[in-house]
Amino acid sequence: MKILVTGGLGFIGSHVVVELQNEGFEVIIIDNLSNSSEKVKDGIVSITDTQPVFENLDLRNKESVQDFFKRHNDLSGVIHFAASKAVGESVENPLLYYENNLNTLIYLLQEQQKIGKGNFIFSSSCTVYGQADEMPITEANSVKPAESPYGNTKQIGEEIIRDTCKVSKNINAIALRYFNPIGSHDSAKIGELPIGVPQNLIPYITQTAAGLREQLSVFGDDYPTPDGTCIRDYIHVVDLAKAHVAALKRLIEKKNKNNYEVYNIGTGTGSSVLEVINAFEKVSKQKLNYKIVDRREGDVISAYADTTKANKELGWKAETSLEDALASAWKWEQKIRG
């Protein structure tokens, strides 16, 4: 079965390509290399011993998308990652984010609508919940007004898919709301490659430990949590990748109950920033240089998933511990700096 993975050379996309190929799917990657490199393909090949087809296409070009679907009219599914994901940049340049994240989605769905059928997996985010009133967060929690244009593209993206599925009954879609993806493949042949100064906690930690950054700033220790730092649900990227394969199979095997479904993808466990630092120090056997600074604007206090729905309906569960996930991130950082 042939699966299109857009953004398949990115951090999460590349791990999904590996899991798909491990399961015998034939993969076609579309990536415009805006935040990735063709070298990632070599990592994928060296893990799976299988060469994915790669097309350097920009999905913002509608004609290219139409042409691609003409050439590949036998797709069993589309997993759509290609999107911009930096919160701060989205505030600076909202139109880039709306164009990049929404036009591409619309063009892909239009092609499935033309064919009259299709299986579609969408990368959504726990950011759609904002600061939820109760923990853990179930899919029934309300969607809160987005804090950034990036977050808004995930909310609007979900609405675009939901509305399309209402009228196109043979399009089957699943939105996966990721919590915080971290780590890398155990082989350290693929992993996260942040451009410039990382904004996310784990790459900042590993770069500090590797000596690229002087010191980690912990954004606030006066939150109403047990140790005062924010709580998140950190999920290993390989576990997350496997959730995509499970979701895709649910659609291919027609096990879905509705033609648009939503799942939380996390571990179900919340960890504070200080707990993450302690776990990192333990696995890396290094002291991390950090200091407590002011809160970062826009941070929610706490977000961790209730994963019951995904566990039951997708038959999937996160298996990697926080320590193992951090160890994989550290192994990757050492490899790319080595």
Give the footprint of ligand UD1 on this chain (CB under 6 A): 85, 87, 125, 127, 151, 180, 199-201, 204, 216-219, 230, 232, 273, 296, 298-299
Q: Which is nearer to ligand UD1, 27 or 318 (CB)?
A: 318
- Sheet of 2-6: strands edge to edge? 53-55, 26-30, 2-6, 75-80, 118-125, 171-178, 260-265
Q: Which residues contact 236 (CB under 8 A, 6 or more apart)?
A: 181, 182, 183, 318, 319, 320, 324, 325, 328
Q: Cβ(72)–Cβ(26) under 8 Å?
A: no
Contact between 33 and 59 (Cβ < 8 Å)? no
| Residue in 49, 44, 54 with CA at minimum distance from that of residue 5 | 54
Output the smallest distance, CB 113 to ligand UD1, in A: 28
Contact in structure between 283 and 326 (CB atoms under 8 Å): yes
Beta-strand pair 118-125/75-80: parallel
How many C-beta atoms surround the C-beta of residue 222 within 10 A?
A: 10
Q: Among all residues, which ones are annotated catalytic?
A: 150
Q: How far is the CB of 127 from ligand UD1 (least distance, A)?
A: 4
Residue sitting closest to ligand UD1 (CB): 230
| Minimum CB distance to ligand UD1, residue 28 (Å) | 26
Q: Are 313 and 242 in contact (CB under 8 A)?
A: no
Please tell me the distance from the alpha carbon of residue 312 to that of residue 297, in angstroms, as a whole number: 36
**What whole-number distance in Å separates Cα of residue 229 and Cα of residue 300?**
11
**CA–CA distance, 45 with 38 (Å, rounded to integer):** 12
Query: Measured from the CB atom, is 194 or 324 closer to ligand UD1?
Result: 194
Cα→Cα distances 315→62, 185, 189, 247, 322, Å: 36, 22, 28, 9, 21
